[in-house]
Amino acid sequence: MRKRPWLGCAQFQTPTRATPRRLVAQTREEQLWRRCVPRLFAPGEQPAPLTRAINHIGVTPMAHVTFLNLDYQIYLNQVLHTAGGTWLTHLVCVPLNVGLLFYALAIHTGGPDSMFMNAGLVLLAVLAAWYTAMAVKLRSGLWAGVVLAVLAGLWLVANVCAGLVAGGELAWFLRPITLVAAVSAVQAYSHLFEEHVPPRANFQQRWQPVREFIWGDPATVTLQARLQRLAWTPIGGLWGLLDEWWASAKLLPLYLLELLWALGYRRAQREQIRGRSLEALASGDPALDWVGIGGGASVAALGEASASDHDHDDQHEAAAALAELNWV
């Protein structure tokens, strides 16, 4: 059995529909978005066409708007990146994408006489504040220090590179848009290493084996339908490219946290969080809109299941206990 980066020897079980349930209570961020935009974040059984389109393109729209929901963000990162090829590709491409944001801002908003004085400073401050808030929520001084050091390094290298190519017409392969598109495409298509396509991305509410998604069942799928599937794969990759580019800034601190965990940092905390992801994967139907089970179902499908959730404050007290109430 193959050993995988964070899964170990565990496997994603054969996809099957399971009764939706939470493993972690929803946060105030989630509640706010579901209250303000219920048609998108808490649709009924028949969502509107626009909601279906957004869900197909974004797959996990809630993840794109809840910036401090660490339980959910870590969980999604784990259930969507189970293969070694996917995980390692993201480990390389995510920091490259963040660095390219600084590079683009240095190229387009900086001047030859003020290499470091550009809009990248604003982005640096925003990301530093965001990542620090994440670390404060997890009570991890080490994580904060590592993330801020890596972020500062990316900003510095990006500005130096921009300074080296400034002063003339950029070759097409040095233009920020070209580099961002290339890195994001590699990051997006690394999901082909995964064994399953998530709900919504496959126009269904269930997880689906990649081979079935691309080729279909030879006994039931016609040649025309198969050609249509193959034609759609690169088109769907365009949405994936945009998703990966947008998600990179969020994923950077999460991958650094995974690396710290892999080195032995806070083993009990890692096992608690990892255990929830493994439980969802073992069901064959990991949820996309919450930490738990339910595939692509809307939160409306939880019904009374959500009433049995533990209070979110209690969960953070447990997390604080695991951190031993210190900032190391």
Q: How many CB atoms lie within 10 A of CB 326?
A: 9
Ordered alpha helix ranges (H), the chain: 28-36, 38-41, 49-58, 70-80, 84-109, 120-138, 141-165, 176-189, 210-215, 223-262, 267-283, 312-322
Q: Say how many Å lie between the first and final Cα of the chain, rounded.
A: 35
pLDDT at 313: 44
Of 90-94, 105-109, 165-169, the range with the lowest mean pLDDT is 165-169
Going by C-beta distance under 8 Å and a sequence separation of 6 or more, which residues neighbour residue 3? 9
- Residue spans of the domains in the chain: they are 38-322
pLDDT at 116: 80
pLDDT at 323: 44
State pTM to two decimals: 0.87
For residue 160, is pLDDT > 90? Answer: yes
Nearest Cα residue to 146 out of 270, 247, 260, 250: 260
pLDDT at 229: 67
pLDDT at 34: 93
Of 47-51, 153-157, 217-221, 288-292, the range with the lowest mean pLDDT is 217-221
Per-residue confidence band for 2, with pLDDT thresholds at 50, 70 and 90:
low
Q: What is the mean pLDDT of residues 74-80?
A: 96
Of 24-38, 43-57, 65-79, 308-322, the range with the lowest mean pLDDT is 308-322
Q: What is the mean pLDDT of residues 228-246?
A: 78
Nearest Cα residue to 22 out of 269, 305, 230: 305
Query: What is the C-alpha to C-alpha distance for residues 283 and 19, in angstroms, rounded to an integer?
Result: 9
Question: Residue 36 corresponds to which amino acid?
Answer: C
Q: What is the mean pLDDT of residues 234-243?
A: 80
For residue 304, is pLDDT > 60? Answer: no
For residue 132, is pLDDT > 90? Answer: yes
Query: What is the C-alpha to C-alpha distance for residues 314 and 25, in angstroms, rounded to an integer?
Result: 10
Element (H, E) at 293: strand 292-293
pLDDT at 219: 66
CB half-sphere exposure, 40, CA atoms < 13 A:
20
For residue 250, is pLDDT > 60? Answer: yes
Q: What are the phi and psi torsion angles at 293 (to 5°)?
A: -120, 140
Query: What is the C-alpha to C-alpha distance for residues 170 and 108, in angstroms, rounded to an integer?
Result: 11
Nearest Cα residue to 134 out of 148, 150, 124: 148
Q: What is the mean pLDDT of residues 100-107?
A: 95
Taken in order 322, 310, 17, 225, the sign of the CA dihedral is negative
Nearest Cα residue to 254 out of 122, 8, 79, 120: 79
Q: What is the mean pLDDT of residues 125-141?
A: 97
Residue indicated by tokens 């997390």: 319
| pLDDT digits 0-9 by tens, 181-225 | 999 999 999 998 999 999 998 888 999 888 887 777 666 677 777
Query: What is the C-alpha to C-alpha distance for residues 64 and 91, in angstroms, rounded to an integer?
Result: 19
pLDDT at 182: 96
Structure tokens at 12: 């994603």
pLDDT at 218: 63
Q: Helix, strand, or coil here: 21?
A: strand
